């Protein structure tokens, strides 16, 4: 049988390459030196295992017979002779050769390098657990400086009478003194490590002749820390992930990575769930904004710093070598998260693991329940926090700027709510976490951290009406005209506002319609256009009274005053000063689909409006005449006093 790749394994990286290739239906011939190695990697339809040491000539014969497309050398870093034989054999047979190095993370896990026996002792002083010492008897005396050496050290030395006597004089004897003559197999080394329950194996970099490779393999198999006296070996080659990337392109692999959207909590590793930690252990690629990725990345991870959903999806699709991908998202994936868009792009088979949300973490820290709190985010989005705080006892908000707390406190104070208690949380779960409470009026100059949240507690909140229809008497009145409650209620109903509407109130007067718009479209914006100074002043007073922070007063006449404003989704025209057609023209230019409600009192205005509807070819129109009367007490009788009849005209270009 012909094989597309030959892998010289014997290491974790080698076994992983065999699995990676065979699972992708690439036929692979795996060469391992021992029967132990053959038990580590299982044969399959696409994987053949050969367990025997090969010399250079045997390698050349194998390459000539199989004719692989690539030869991968993933042998142990200290199997220098084997590596040289593979490289030479590939040169003689014109094979593509690639050296696969141990990842830096693997090296750190496997071994600690020290310059001298004295340095080894200093390192071991900071550890606990038994030690298999294989450096011989010559320098054994140095290790007696290790506290508790008689109990911790198991020294393997030559079985000569003089050596045994010298060791006994140093205080190492009985079961702690192992007199044996090498060579030692990997299996025997492993058996000794297990027999004496060792956590460390100390050796010199003695190469193949000194049995170094067998010691290293035994330490790896037993999960024992290898302490090497001597400088680490320097090699040239590529990492495991780089090799997988090359193989994926070479063999045109088509596979879909297992992708996990992981809510990482506040950011510190301590707030990860166990399920999240397990996902990170499996992952070979972590993607996220720098703060999130750095918070959870492990030593074996490849990392991509990216937060744009489209770029993330494209990168995963073009890198099939990554089998398990974790996308790190702050907090909880279902709480103001980028998970929604990622799921649309990556597909429903994407795994989703929730994290601890900032609201749950912070409210617990502050000692507050949040089942009765209004929860919003002001991070990177418009949010009328002031109005929400006016109408709710508790409002939790994610901020996002260093002056976020001060800005909110200043507005609350401006709107007469300086006594509101602000519970503030910054850098949640990090070492510099800060949680405190203060009155809003005392925080107007506060400079904090952008990574912050706040819970406003307003004991004297005013519950918002379920529907529009604020009584006329609640508005600050003057000589300026005001749209009465009944007309205002019908007109707002016909507007059909949404929470994020962008509204115009043309000819706003005292601002009764503007205020009700602002309270209903609390995540949008309202622009009150008024040319009279007295009316503008009343508008400002009513804005403050009702904490309509998303209401902006525009002084001037329409249509000129509309020019610099953003495109409206809804517009109410209570007064046009004879410029109705020009106003409609500007509105339609800004948004052809704008929904418009016009109040008409005079017959002339009705005629002008109907003419404009025909001229602009509105497709959805409705004309309602509203006649309202209010009872007035006269002695013990009530007389109905009629209000001026109003025409409420609704028009929209597209249905």
pLDDT one-digit tens code per residue, 328-359:
998 888 887 888 899 999 988 899 999 998 99
Task: Indicate whether 273 and 222 sit together in one domain.
Answer: no
* pLDDT tens digits along 245-275: 899 989 988 767 899 999 998 888 888 999 9
What pLDDT, on a 0 to 100 scale, did the predictor assign at position 413?
94
Read off the pLDDT band of 108 (50, 70, 90): very low
Per-residue HEC secondary structure of 312-377 comes to HHHHHHCCCCCCEEEEEECECCCCCCCHHHHHHHHCCCCEEECCCCHHHHHHHHHCCCCCCCEEEE
* pLDDT tens digits along 481-498: 788 889 999 999 999 999
What pLDDT, on a 0 to 100 scale, did the predictor assign at position 1?
65
Task: Indicate whether 114 and 73 sit together in one domain.
Answer: no
What pLDDT, on a 0 to 100 scale, did the predictor assign at position 380?
65
User: Which residues lie closer than 8 Å to 641 by C-beta, 6 or more apart?
Assistant: 629, 630, 631, 632
205-214 contacts at long range (C-beta below 8 A, 24 or more positions apart): 205/78, 205/229, 205/230, 205/231, 205/233, 207/78, 207/80, 208/78, 208/79, 208/80, 208/81, 211/182, 211/183, 211/184, 212/78, 213/76, 213/78, 213/79, 213/186, 214/183, 214/184, 214/185, 214/186, 214/189
Which sign, positive or negative, has the C-alpha torsion 337, 338, 341, 346?
A: negative
Task: Indicate whether 601 and 495 sit together in one domain.
Answer: yes
350 found inside a domain: yes
Q: Does 35 score more than 70 pLDDT?
A: no
Beta bridge partners of 304: 287
Q: Does 584 score more than 50 pLDDT?
A: yes
Task: Indicate whether 495 and 644 sit together in one domain.
Answer: yes
Q: Does 107 score more than 80 pLDDT?
A: no
Task: Indicate whether 482 and 599 sit together in one domain.
Answer: yes
CA distance 482 to 402: 41
What pLDDT, on a 0 to 100 scale, did the predictor assign at position 37?
58
Beta-strand relationship, 285-288 and 258-263:
unpaired
Total structural domains within the chain:
5
Instruction: For residues 372-384, give the mean pLDDT.
Output: 81
Task: Indicate whether 78 and 216 sit together in one domain.
Answer: no
Q: Does 233 score more than 80 pLDDT?
A: no
Question: How many Cα atoms occupy the beta-carbon half-sphere of 622 within 13 Å?
Answer: 14
Q: What is the CATH number of the domain that holds 592?
A: 3.40.50.150
Q: What is the CATH number of the domain that holds 87?
A: 3.40.50.720
Beta bridge partners of 625: 647
What pLDDT, on a 0 to 100 scale, did the predictor assign at position 105?
44
Q: Does 8 score more than 50 pLDDT?
A: yes
Q: What is the CATH number of the domain that holds 346?
A: 3.40.1010.10
Domain that holds residue 617: 472-652
**The pTM is what?**
0.62
465 found inside a domain: no
235 found inside a domain: no
Longest dimension (CA), the chain: 129
Instruction: For residues 21-32, give the mean pLDDT.
Output: 91
Read off the pLDDT band of 66 (50, 70, 90): very high
The phi, psi pair for 31, rounded to 5°, reads: -110, 120
Q: Does 106 score more than 50 pLDDT?
A: no
480 found inside a domain: yes
Other CB atoms closer than 10 Å to residue 78's CB: what's the count? Answer: 23
Q: Is the peptide bond before 592 cis (omega within 30 degrees of 0)?
A: no
Task: Indicate whether 369 and 345 sit together in one domain.
Answer: no
Asked if 547 and 420 count as a contact pair (C-beta separation under 8 A), the reply is no
Task: Indicate whether 400 and 329 sit together in one domain.
Answer: no
What pLDDT, on a 0 to 100 scale, did the predictor assign at position 206?
65
> How far apart, in Å, are the Cα atoms of 35 and each of 51, 201, 207, 545?
6, 23, 21, 84
Q: What is the mean pLDDT of the chain?
A: 89
């Amino acid at each position: 049988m012909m094989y597309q790749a030959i892998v010289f394994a014997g290491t974790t990286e080698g076994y992983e390459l065999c699995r990676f290739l065979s699972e992708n239906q690439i036929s692979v011939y795996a060469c391992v030196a021992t029967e132990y190695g053959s038990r580590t990697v299982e044969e399959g339809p696409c994987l053949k295992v050969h367990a025997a040491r090969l010399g250079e000539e045997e390698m050349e014969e194998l390459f000539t017979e199989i004719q692989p497309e690539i030869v991968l050398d993933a042998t142990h870093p200290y199997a220098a002779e084997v590596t040289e034989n593979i490289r030479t054999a590939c040169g003689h047979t014109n094979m593509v050769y690639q050296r696969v190095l141990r990842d830096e993370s693997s090296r750190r896990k496997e071994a600690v390098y020290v310059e001298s026996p004295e340095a080894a002792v200093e390192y071991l002083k900071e550890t606990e657990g038994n030690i298999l010492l294989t450096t011989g008897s010559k320098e054994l005396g140095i290790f007696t400086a290790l506290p508790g050496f008689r109990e911790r050290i198991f020294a393997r030395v030559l079985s000569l009478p003089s050596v045994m006597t010298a060791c006994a004089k140093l205080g190492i004897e009985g079961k702690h003194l192992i007199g044996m003559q090498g060579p030692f197999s990997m299996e025997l080394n492993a058996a000794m490590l297990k027999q004496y329950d060792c956590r460390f194996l100390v050796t010199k970099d003695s190469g193949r002749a000194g049995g170094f490779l067998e010691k290293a393999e035994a330490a790896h198999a037993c999960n024992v820390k290898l302490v090497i006296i001597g400088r680490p070996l320097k090699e040239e080659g590529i990492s495991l992930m780089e090799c997988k990337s090359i193989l994926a392109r070479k063999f045109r692999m088509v596979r879909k990575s297992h992708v996990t959207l992981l809510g990482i909590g506040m950011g510190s590793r301590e707030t990860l769930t166990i399920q999240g930690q397990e996902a990170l252990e499996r992952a070979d690629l972590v993607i996220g904004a720098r703060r999130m990725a750095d918070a959870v990345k492990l030593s074996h991870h490849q990392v991509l710093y990216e937060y744009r959903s489209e770029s993330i999806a494209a990168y995963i699709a073009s890198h099939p070598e990554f089998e398990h991908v974790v996308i790190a998202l702050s907090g909880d994936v279902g709480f103001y998260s980028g998970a929604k868009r990622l799921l649309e792009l990556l597909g429903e088979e994407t795994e989703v693991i929730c994290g601890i949300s900032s609201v749950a973490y912070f409210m617990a820290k502050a000692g507050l329940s949040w089942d009765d709190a209004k929860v919003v985010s002001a991070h990177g989005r418009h949010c009328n926090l002031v109005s929400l705080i006016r109408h709710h006892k508790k409002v939790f908000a994610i901020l996002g700027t260093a002056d976020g707390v001060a800005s909110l406190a200043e507005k609350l104070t401006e709107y007469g709510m300086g006594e509101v208690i602000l519970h503030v949380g910054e850098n949640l779960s990090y070492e510099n976490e800060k949680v405190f409470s203060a009155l809003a009026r005392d925080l107007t100059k506060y400079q904090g951290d952008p990574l912050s949240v706040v819970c406003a507690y307003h004991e004297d909140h005013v519950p918002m009406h379920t529907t529009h229809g604020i009584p006329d008497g609640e508005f600050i009145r003057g000589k300026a005209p005001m749209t009465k409650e009944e007309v205002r209620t019908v007109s707002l109903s016909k507007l059909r506002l949404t929470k994020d509407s962008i509204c115009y109130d043309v000819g706003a007067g005292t601002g009764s319609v503007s205020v009700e718009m602002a309270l209903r479209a609390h995540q949008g914006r309202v622009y009150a256009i008024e040319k009279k100074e007295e009316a503008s002043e009343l508008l400002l007073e009513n804005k403050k009274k009702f904490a309509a922070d998303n209401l902006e007063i525009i002084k001037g006449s329409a249509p000129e005053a509309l020019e610099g404003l953003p495109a409206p989704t809804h517009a109410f025209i209570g007064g046009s000063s004879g410029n109705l057609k020009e106003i409609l023209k500007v509105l339609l230019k800004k948004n052809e689909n704008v929904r418009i409600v016009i109040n008409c009192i005079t017959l002339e205005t009705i005629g002008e409006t109907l003419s404009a509807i025909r001229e602009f070819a509105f497709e959805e129109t409705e004309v309602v005449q509203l006649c309202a009367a209010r009872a007035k007490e006269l002695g013990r009788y009530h007389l109905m006093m009629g209000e001026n009849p109003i025409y409420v005209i609704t028009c929209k270009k597209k249905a």
